[in-house]
C-alpha cells in the first residue's frame, strides 16, 4: 500500500493523531482508525505498519465494502478447491497472505454477521479455517481496521458484534476532519499546488491569489484532504498563466450551466404556498422572517453574495473585466462599480480590459 501522499499538517489535533499512531505502532495489539472519508485512514494504517517490528513483512489491504457479502469470507479466510461453485482450486485468504505482517481492513462496518463471527475467532485465537476445510491454521497477524461509522452505536443496535468491537479497540485513533485543522488548509493547498505545478513543468510556483486562499479557507471540505487535493490540482492545471497567482477555483466539478435537466417533478403550487407565506408576518411560518434581525443584515448578506459572484467570474475570466462584464450581463461601468464597491483586488493577477 505505497502512497504518494505524506503527512502534511501543523494543527494540534492532526499532530496528536499522528503521534498516537507512532506510539501504538511497535505494539502487536489491534488498532481501530476512525474518521470521515478523505481524512487519511489508510495513511495511518501504513504508518502503523512501517513503524512496527513487522515493517519488512507483508502489509495486506482489504476493502470490506468492495466485495459482495458472499465472497468476503472467502477473501478473508481462503477456500479449498470445490468448496463452492467456481472454486476450482485452493486459495489462501488475506489472513494467510498477511502472516507475520499487518492486515488492514478498511470499511470494517460493512462486514456481514457471519464474517464478523469468523473474524472474532481469528482475532481471539490466531486461527483461520478455509471455507471447505475442517483444519484451522495458525496465523500471526496484526490487525488495523478503519471505519467512518459509529461502531459503538452499531453495537448497541445489534448491527456489530460488541465482543468483536472490544477486541479490535485496544487503541482507537480518531482523525480530525480538515475543517477543524486550523492552519492546515493553506499548508496542504500549497503542497498540492506545488506538486501539480511541477507535474505541469512550470518554471516556478506562483501561489494562489488572495481571494482564492480565502475561498479555500472558508470551504467546509466534506471530502477532507482528498477533496482538497482534487480541487487544488484541478485549479492549477486549468490555470494557463504560470506567471500569475492562480485566480480561480471550482469546488464542484459538476457545476455547469448545461447540467442535464432532472426528471423529478416540480413541487406543486400548493406546497410552495405552504412553504413560503404570502407576506411577511402571515401564516404559521412567519418566524422564518426572523432569520434576519434587521434590513441591514439582509443587505450585508446580499452584498456578500454579490461579491462572491463577481469574484468568481473575475477569476474564471483571468480578471479580464470586459469579458467578465459580458458573462455577467453587466456593462463595463457597472462591473467597475462592483469592483470598487467590494474592494476586490487582483493580488498580482494581470487585469485587462
Residues 223 and 148 in one domain: no
Residues 145 and 233 in one domain: no
CA 3 and chain centroid, separation: 16
Rounded average pLDDT over 60-86: 84
pLDDT digits (tens, 9 = 90+) for 156-192: 999 999 999 999 999 999 999 999 999 999 999 999 9
Beta strands across the sheet bearing 59-63 = 59-63, 102-106, 142-147, 31-34, 171-174
Domain count, the chain: 2
Non-local (6+) Cβ contacts of 24 within 8 A are 31, 48, 171, 173
Identify which of 62, 65, 63 has the alpha carbon closest to the alpha carbon of residue 95: 62
Rounded Cα–Cα distance for residues 332 and 91 (Å): 71
Residues 131 and 222 in one domain: no
Residues 227 and 188 in one domain: yes
Residues 195 and 324 in one domain: yes
Has residue 264 been placed in a domain? no
Output the pLDDT for position 270: 46
Residue that is last in its domain, among 144, 176, 208: 176
Residue that is last in its domain, among 146, 176, 206: 176
Residues 34 and 144 in one domain: yes
Has residue 48 been placed in a domain? yes
Non-local (6+) Cβ contacts of 121 within 8 A are 127
Q: What is the CATH number of the domain that holds 121?
A: 3.40.50.300
Residues 166 and 48 in one domain: yes
Task: Give the residue numbers spanning the domain of 48.
Answer: 12-82+89-176
pLDDT over threshold 70, residue 290: no
Residues 153 and 199 in one domain: no
Residue that is last in its domain, among 129, 144, 176: 176
Residue by residue, DSSP assigns 280-343 as TT-STTGGGGGGSSSHHHHHHHHHHHHHHHHHHHHHHTTTBHHHHHHHHT--HHHHHHHHHHHT
Has residue 105 been placed in a domain? yes
For helices 321-328 and 295-316, give the axis angle rounded to 10 degrees: 120
For helices 41-50 and 12-24, give the axis angle rounded to 10 degrees: 40
Residues 114 and 26 in one domain: yes
Per DSSP bridges, beta strands 102-106 and 59-63 are parallel
pLDDT bucket at 273, cuts 50 / 70 / 90: very low
pLDDT digits (tens, 9 = 90+) for 210-240: 999 999 999 999 999 999 999 999 999 999 8
Lowest mean per-residue pLDDT among 88-97, 98-107, 239-248: 88-97
Q: What is the CATH number of the domain that holds 328?
A: 1.10.8.60
Has residue 144 been placed in a domain? yes
Residues 96 and 184 in one domain: no
Residues 97 and 75 in one domain: yes
Amino acid at each position: 500500500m505505497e502512497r504518494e501522499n505524506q503527512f502534511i499538517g501543523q494543527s494540534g489535533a492532526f499532530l496528536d493523531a499522528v503521534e498516537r499512531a507512532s506510539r501504538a505502532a511497535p505494539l502487536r495489539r489491534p488498532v481501530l482508525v476512525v474518521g470521515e472519508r478523505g481524512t487519511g485512514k489508510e495513511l495511518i494504517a501504513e504508518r502503523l505498519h512501517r513503524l512496527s517490528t513487522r515493517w519488512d513483512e507483508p502489509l495486506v489491504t482489504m476493502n470490506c465494502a468492495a466485495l459482495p457479502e458472499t465472497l468476503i469470507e472467502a477473501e478473508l479466510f481462503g477456500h479449498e478447491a470445490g468448496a463452492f461453485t467456481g472454486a476450482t482450486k485452493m486459495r489462501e485468504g488475506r489472513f494467510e497472505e498477511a502472516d507475520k505482517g499487518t492486515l488492514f481492513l478498511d470499511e470494517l462496518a460493512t462486514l456481514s454477521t457471519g464474517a464478523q463471527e469468523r473474524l472474532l475467532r481469528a482475532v481471539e485465537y490466531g486461527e483461520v479455517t478455509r471455507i471447505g476445510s475442517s483444519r484451522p491454521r495458525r496465523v500471526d497477524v496484526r490487525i488495523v481496521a478503519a471505519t467512518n461509522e459509529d461502531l459503538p452505536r452499531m453495537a448497541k443496535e445489534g448491527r456489530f458484534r460488541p465482543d468483536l468491537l472490544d477486541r479490535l479497540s485496544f487503541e482507537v485513533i480518531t482523525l480530525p476532519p480538515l475543517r477543524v485543522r486550523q492552519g492546515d488548509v493553506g499548508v496542504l493547498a500549497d503542497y498540492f499546488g506545488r506538486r501539480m505545478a511541477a507535474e505541469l513543468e512550470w518554471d516556478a510556483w506562483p501561489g494562489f491569489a488572495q481571494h482564492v486562499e480565502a475561498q479555500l479557507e472558508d470551504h467546509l471540505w466534506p471530502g477532507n484532504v482528498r477533496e482538497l487535493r482534487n480541487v487544488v490540482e484541478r485549479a492549477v492545471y486549468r490555470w494557463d498563466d504560470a506567471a500569475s497567482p492562480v485566480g480561480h477555483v471550482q469546488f464542484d466539478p459538476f457545476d455547469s450551466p448545461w447540467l442535464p435537466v432532472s426528471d423529478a417533478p416540480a413541487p406543486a403550487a400548493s406546497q410552495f404556498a405552504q412553504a413560503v407565506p404570502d407576506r411577511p408576518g402571515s401564516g404559521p411560518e412567519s418566524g422564518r422572517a426572523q432569520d434576519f434581525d434587521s434590513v441591514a443584515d439582509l443587505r450585508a448578506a446580499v452584498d456578500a453574495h454579490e461579491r462572491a459572484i463577481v469574484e468568481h467570474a473575475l477569476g474564471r475570466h483571468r480578471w479580464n473585466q470586459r469579458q467578465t462584464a459580458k458573462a455577467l450581463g453587466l456593462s463595463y461601468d457597472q462591473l467597475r462599480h462592483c469592483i470598487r464597491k467590494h474592494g476586490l483586488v487582483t493580488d498580482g493577477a494581470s487585469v485587462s480590459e
